[in-house]
Amino acid sequence: MFPLHRGRRLRTNESIRSLVRETSLSPADFMFPMFVAEGESVQVEIASMPGIFRRSIDLTVIEIRELFDLGIRAVNIYVKVSENLKDNTGLEAWNPNGLMQNAIRAIKTACPEMIVMPDVALDPYSIYGHDGIIANGDIENDSTVDALVKMAVSHAQAGADFVAPSDMMDGRVLRLREGLDAAGFHNVGIMSYSAKYASAFYGPFRDALDSAPVDATEIPKDKKTYQMDYANRIEAIKEALWDVEEGADMVMVKPGIAYLDIVREVKNAVNVPVTVYHVSGEYAMIKAAAERGWLDHDKIMMEQLMCIKRAGASLISTYFAKEAAVLLNK
């Protein structure tokens, strides 16, 4: 009660502010999403994501070592699959010598302590750009889950520490857990994209992998039949709780900044770590505004990351991971 209580006493200078700060960030809070391409010495910048590249495995490994030296301890891996390897079954997704499997092996060989969480979804392998197998004009849930189990087991065989199902098919976490255990991979974890919304913020990511749904009359034009309606809140809590019951070791909310209310709700509801994906569109907006001089890039970057952590994130998957780690290490 004023004047006995003056909140400004705890804001007098940076020393006192840092002393009473409720939330902190470190490079170990970040996971870096990486895009892997075929070939050697390949490095292609993604036009809609300045500073982010598709790299061949040899250059990816070099980047991995740099990230580890900065204190980053986890990476999320996505692959740019050749068009001739795409179909409607996902067959290439569990090829033991596929691009993803070779990338996992190379990373774990070069940097065994880096936690590798490969993406488990069929959209990079699909001729339709969808996360599942299409039958009779619809994304078929159960046959897709069968394919995802094969995919996840192949990732575990290659050395993955966690698998990260981003598909939003029903029941896939339970089936993945059963499949991994049956194959002897009891210690391979599952980070489930539990509350993944059908968001327009994913555009630049789909540019990176050329994985947007194709425009065809016989198939769904978007991913709204499996990704969540962004008008819904209670549904996100339900999905996260289901995934935990099915064996998820971590759950994810995606996107990030526009969904911090969901992050807090999920954090309050579950007893496992909550990961937040600070997605490509959120990254691209900051980059674009900063290039025009409308925002201070580093200040906005750090503010958004701090806000995600404050909302309840245990781990933040962000394209800013490397830049933020460099700043924090200073």
Query: Among residues 108, 196, 287, 309, which one is catalytic?
Result: 196
Block residue for tokens 């993945």: 176
Alpha-carbon span 92 to 100, nearest angstrom: 10
254 an active-site residue?
yes
Contact predicate 175/145, CB 8 Å: yes
- On the question of a cis peptide bond just before residue 3, with omega within 30 degrees of 0, the verdict is yes
Contact predicate 309/23, CB 8 Å: yes
Query: What is the DSSP code string of 175-186?
Result: HHHHHHHHTT-T
Alpha-carbon span 55 to 163, nearest angstrom: 21
196 an active-site residue?
yes
Block residue for tokens 């996100």: 236
Residues 6+ apart with CB under 8 A from 73: 27, 28, 113, 114, 115
Task: Give the tokens for residue 238.
Answer: 């339900």
Query: Among residues 80, 86, 254, 267, which one is catalytic?
Result: 254
Residue type, 159: G
Alpha-carbon span 112 to 321, nearest angstrom: 20
Which residues does the annotation mark as catalytic? 196, 254
